[in-house]
Amino acid sequence: MGPKAEVAPHRVMAEEAGETPAKEAESSADFGDSSSSSSEDEAKEPNTMETTRNKRKPDKVEAVQNKKNAESKQAGPSGDKDQPGEEAGPVTASGSGEAHSATGPWVPDRVKRALEKSKNFDEFRKNRPFRYLHLFSGEKDQLSVSLKKAAEKARLEIYVESLDRKKDKEINLAAPATYDEIDKSVEEGDWDGYHSGFPCGSFSRVRWRDTDHGPGPVRSAAHIYGLPGNTVQQQREADEGTLMATRSAWLHRKQIESFRRRALPEASTMENPQGAINTGSAWDLPELKQVLDETNSSVAEFNTCAYQSQLRRRWFKPAKWAGKLESLATLAKVCRCPEWVTHVPLIGKSATEAAGAYPEELADAVAIKVVDTWKRILNLEWLRYQMSVKSSEVNELQMKWLDNEDKRRKRLYEETKPVIADSITQEKKRKVPSKA
């Protein structure tokens, strides 16, 4: 569990998901009646962060209770009404929905409700929206757009919570009350995916360039929490940047813990620029290093221009995606732009902000991996539930799939060493001439 302490001045203490479910065509068990219609009475998806936008914050107990009593519904694409095709479904339901049960993995109440009200797998697909939390999403959340597009193709219901002050001025992700509420929602299993592209401003190596177009640096690799000569205002900026980076990491760790309590494949990531050796980056913060190590997170470095193949003017900007997501390392790419491409210089605030938006090609690649993970989760939850309530209808093939999938999950997410796809770093090393 991530600490909730404030940042002290100058320092904060502290792999491709192929779908291999038991096929219905190969199964003698029928998990759904094709003549049954799906439930049409789902309530509107509650906004988990609603209380952070209100000027008068409701009593926390009341807010949590209201959230738990609300029925979940997808706010994204509705999907088509065809039968589930190859996807059958598992999962041992937990007892209370609030703690890990002796009968099997923990199941959040929202998922239990969807399982209990669904007469067949196709209904469960519609009744069980996948919830994704995107912090610092920017004004236009391209990742949300890509997730909804990929989910629609997979006939999954999803809801994306995009939080950013540029979208809603009343949202302050640096405020303790906001963090506490988000932290609680992650701990209670409200989310099926997480990503934070926390602000890179105070870490940006662009600030070290000899230019009059922007503010100067407030930290370096040697002084990662703030330069000794910082003014009070500069140190405050450095502290806030450190705070948002470390809190993002703590939430990432807690989301991973949620997946492991539920014994499910993991989809939790963070993104920020790579930084330079001398200027430092958010990834050099000891707190982030610790979380990435504890969660066994993989890393993928890439040049932004590698995901802008349709543009003549591109951002060379190096970045790093890190976390737990199957085949995440395949996102690693280095610049291979042809001669006719222009790399736009990162000079001025407008340019750096524009370069911070995720290209559609990158967002699409990430979304496909997340949705592939969700398809596995859907099957795991359904089959495990069937095992718990009517095990006689789960055949030997499906039981074997369940067992193999659990072994696969442990191997990929808990036992396998993280993949560090530091393509940009290795590319730089290859270009350094050897000493005579």
Look at residue 348 in the predicted model and tell me its pLDDT: 65
Give the helix/strand (H/E) hosting 421. strand 420-421
Instruction: Give pLDDT tens digits for 94-128.
Output: 333 333 445 689 999 999 999 999 999 999 999 99
Look at residue 74 in the predicted model and tell me its pLDDT: 36
Q: Tell me the pLDDT band of 402, cut-offs 50, 70 and 90.
A: confident
By three-state DSSP, how is residue 11 classified?
Answer: strand
Q: Concatenate the DSSP letters of all residues of 244-277 into one string.
A: HHHHHHHHHHHHHHHHHHTT---EEEEEEE--BT
Q: Is the pLDDT of residue 91 over 80?
A: no
Q: Tell me the pLDDT band of 66, cut-offs 50, 70 and 90.
A: very low
Look at residue 211 in the predicted model and tell me its pLDDT: 57
Structure tokens at 295: 């969660």
Look at residue 394 in the predicted model and tell me its pLDDT: 76
Q: Can you count the helices (H) and strands (E) in the chain? A: 12, 9
Look at residue 141 in the predicted model and tell me its pLDDT: 95
Q: Is the pLDDT of residue 350 over 90?
A: no
From the list 74, 86, 90, 161, the residue with the least C-alpha distance to 126 is: 74
Look at residue 125 in the predicted model and tell me its pLDDT: 96
Instruction: Give pLDDT tens digits for 10-33.
Output: 443 333 333 333 333 333 333 333
CB 74 within 8 A of CB 159: yes
Look at residue 184 in the predicted model and tell me its pLDDT: 97
Q: Is the pLDDT of residue 177 over 60?
A: yes
Q: Tell me the pLDDT band of 187, cut-offs 50, 70 and 90.
A: very high
Look at residue 275 in the predicted model and tell me its pLDDT: 73
Sign for the pseudo-dihedral over CA of 18, 262, 122, 78: negative
Q: Is the pLDDT of residue 188 over 50?
A: yes
Structure tokens at 395: 């055949």
Instruction: Give pLDDT tens digits for 250-296.
Output: 999 999 999 999 999 999 999 998 877 778 889 999 999 999 999 99
- What average pLDDT does range 397-414 have in this prediction? 85
Q: Phi, psi (5° rounding) for residue 238?
A: -65, -45
415 burial type by CB count under 10 A (0-12 exposed, 13-18 middle, 19+ buried):
exposed
For residues 275 and 217, give the distance between their C-alpha atoms in angstroms, rounded to a whole number: 13
Of the listed ranges 99-103, 139-143, 169-173, 216-220, the least confidently predicted one is 99-103
Taking each helix axis from N to C end, the angle separating 232-261 and 176-187, rounded to the nearest 10 degrees, works out to 10
CB 49 within 8 A of CB 171: yes
For residues 70 and 6, give the distance between their C-alpha atoms in angstroms, rounded to a whole number: 32
3-state DSSP helix/strand/coil % of the chain, to nearest 5:
40, 10, 45
Structure tokens at 334: 């280095």
Q: Is the pLDDT of residue 309 over 50?
A: yes
Annotated domain spans of the chain: 72-431
Look at residue 43 in the predicted model and tell me its pLDDT: 38
Q: Is the pLDDT of residue 393 over 90?
A: no
Look at residue 225 in the predicted model and tell me its pLDDT: 95
- What average pLDDT does range 146-166 have in this prediction? 96
- What average pLDDT does range 228-241 have in this prediction? 93
Q: What is the dihedral of CA 218, 222, 223, 224, to 10 degrees?
A: 80
Look at residue 430 in the predicted model and tell me its pLDDT: 52
Q: Kindly report the average pLDDT of the chain as a whole number.
A: 77
Q: Is the pLDDT of residue 196 over 50?
A: yes
